[in-house]
Amino acid sequence: MIVNVSEIKDGGLSLNLTRGPGWLGGSEKSEVASVDSDIEFHIDLLRTAGEISVRGKIGFLAVARCSRCLSDVSVDTNLEVNLILSPSETERKEEAGGEIDYETYRGRTIDLNDYMREQVNLSLPYKVVCTEDCRGLCSGCGQNLNEQQCGCETHEEDSRFAVLKDIKI
């Protein structure tokens, strides 16, 4: 996604691109989640007063492991992109609120690849639960309790606190 600044006319420039999961360069797979579909980009660039506004949407399907039962969960991900690019010689603005990211560029071309990769990687879910009432895995035998109940003893007493049980207050 390299854009020549001169291609951004008065009406702006719209980019509708599709990239495969391999576009992330190996970072699409982590211990927690991975990208499992093509990544759709719908980006609008607008040039105003030397700055370039980059706004749009990124959409893809991620697969993550449930943090309770370890089953795979599909997560439909749609991101909003809101970025202001300034030439590297201008001073960066700091704006309260944090809804807009500010970056700089050099020369007559803008490489959006790194920024878009960062947005995709930051949006990968860190902790996912397959359902709100997921029962997880049995701590004794490892059986997925959503699929069937195991025969393990369900009440385990912590012997460190057994003495407290006999205290009368």
- Structure pTM? 0.70
Q: What is the pLDDT of residue 1?
A: 81
Taking residues 80-85, what's their average pLDDT?
91
Q: How far is CA 63 from CA 34, 48, 66, 120, in A?
A: 5, 39, 10, 13
Chain-centroid distance of CA 46 in Å reads: 25
- Give the residue extent of every domain in the chain: 2-133
DSSP symbol at 118: H
DSSP symbol at 12: B
DSSP symbol at 143: -
Furthest-apart CA atoms within the chain: distance in Å:
82
- Which of residues 97 and 129 earns the better pLDDT score? 129
- Which of residues 95 and 33 earns the better pLDDT score? 33
12-53 pLDDT tens trace: 999 999 988 777 765 544 555 778 889 999 999 998 887 899
- Within the chain, where are the H helices? 113-123
